[in-house]
Each structure stands twice: as structure tokens, then as C-alpha cells.
Amino acid sequence: MEKNSRRVAISLLAHPDDAEFLCAGTMIRLADAGWTVHIASCTPGDCGTMTHDRWEISSIRTRENIASAAKIGATYHCLDERDGMVCYDKSTLQKAIDLFRRVAPSLVFTHAPKDYMMDHEMASLLARQASFMYGAPNASPHPLLPGSAVPHLYYCDPIGMVDPLGNPVEPTTVIDVSQQLAMKSEMLAAHASQREWLRAHHGMDEYIESMKRHGAERGKRIGTASAEAFVQHRGHPYPQNDLLIELFAKGRA
């Protein structure tokens, strides 16, 4: 199979703001290194509200996503599925494959295969299969871009760093994002609708603080102030070398 030598990264995660919690620091590093970066969610976050209707909050959160992505020159995409209803089915998978076909990623981030809610697990399956299939000529009506091939695939930490049964997840790859923490926080803060209701509910800026606690915990593994952790997918025919470690040598498992 052709080697994928493009420098294009995409995160395909379930919801708006998942990327900012789980992999934005590493994506900032990629953008700074000259990579083209895309951020995609399966849903527009239509249930992330106590006050707006589905369409109002989708509109608000889509604008927040675009603003967050723009801070690092990234492009935002949405598969336009619904919160709590993300499925691994033919129509959603075709949307994911078509998105990957247009973007032709060489590096993909998605959720852990086992995570705290099913939207995350379904997004993980969609990203895995879209990675595998998008370079097959007949998989999508969109034109095949030069260099399209099976990309490096990394699973982000599950929420809380544990699987749904409470077992800790052991990362293969830990990337230092200390220098990116300010921008990562700025990107997360762009999701103002989510930050505000959590702040009202908790009486503190829990939205930003929980992201920082997670990063600090992973940072302990490599002796840095903040880090993001991943598990690399190494099944056939995915690339076997740890590209993130090669790019950012300071990070290690």
C-alpha cells in the first residue's frame, strides 16, 4: 500500500469541544510545524444546553467551533448527526469517509475505543473505518487526492483516563503540550456557551480547570507541566512507527 507522506491532520470526535479537551495541544504543535489541521465533530452539540432549543444551540456552538479552530488556522467540519444518537451505520460512515476523502489526512485523532459514552465509542469506530477506507477509489464519489493512503491513527484518552469499567488506560504516546496550554485554554474558552453554564452551575471555571487537571496528570508521566496522552492504532495495514514521538521528540510514553 502507498505510504502516506502528506502533512494533514484531522480530529474526528463526537462533540464540539472534545478536541479542545483531548488533543488540541498536539494539534497546535502540528499547526506550528506547518501541518494543515482539521477539527471535525459528529454532532453540532445540539443537547448541550438547558435553555436554548436544538437549532439555536447548534447554531451557537457551530460558530464557537469555527472560532476555536480559526485560532490555529484549522478548518472545522461537522457530520451533522445528533447528540446521543451517533451511530456506526452506513449513512454516517459514508459521511465520515467522504470527509476524509476531501481532507486526505495522514494523521487522525479520535476517541478511545472504550469511553464513557456511546457517542464517543461510535465516533471512534467511524474514524477507524474511514481511515482504512478513504483511499479506496470506489469508497467515495469525491476525487482521490494524491498521496491518499492509510494514515497514522491515534486514540485520545478516554474521559477521566479510564475505560467504562473504571480500568486505567495505558498510553503508548505522551506529548508535551506545556507551551501550548495557553492557546489550548483559549480555544476551549471559545466554547463560551458551555463554559458559562458550567461556571454558573459549579461556581468556578470548571470547564477550563478540568482540562488543565487532566493535562497536569498526564504531564507527570514525562516530567512536564502539561501533556496529552494517546494510544496508537497498530493493526494491519496502519503505519507502525510512532509519528508523534518522531515529530515531537520530547514526548514519550
Residue nearest to Zn ion (CB): 15
Cβ closest to Zn ion, residue 119 vs residue 242: 119
Q: What is the DSSP letter of 138?
A: G
Task: Work out the widest C-alpha separation in the chain, in whole angstroms.
Answer: 53
Q: Closest separation between CB of residue 27 and Zn ion, Å?
A: 16
Compute the distance between CA of residue 70 and CA of residue 73 in angstroms, rounded to an integer.
Answer: 5
Half-sphere exposure at residue 143, Cβ-oriented, CA atoms within 13 angstroms: 2
Q: Closest separation between CB of residue 29 and Zn ion, Å?
A: 22
CB neighbours of 194 closer than 8 A, spacing ≥ 6?
16, 17, 45, 48, 61, 64, 207
Q: Closest separation between CB of residue 178 and Zn ion, Å?
A: 24
The CA radius of gyration of the chain, in Å to the nearest whole number, is: 17
Compute the distance between CA of residue 31 and CA of residue 199 in angstroms, rounded to an integer.
Answer: 30
Cβ closest to Zn ion, residue 127 vs residue 139: 127
Q: Closest separation between CB of residue 237 and Zn ion, Å?
A: 29
Q: Closest separation between CB of residue 95 and Zn ion, Å?
A: 18
By the criterion CB under 5 A, which residues form the site for Zn ion? 14-15, 18
Q: What's the length of the chain?
A: 253
Q: Are 126 and 81 in contact (CB under 8 A)?
A: no
| 210 burial type by CB count under 10 A (0-12 exposed, 13-18 middle, 19+ buried) | middle
Cβ closest to Zn ion, residue 8 vs residue 42: 42
Cβ closest to Zn ion, residue 18 vs residue 157: 18
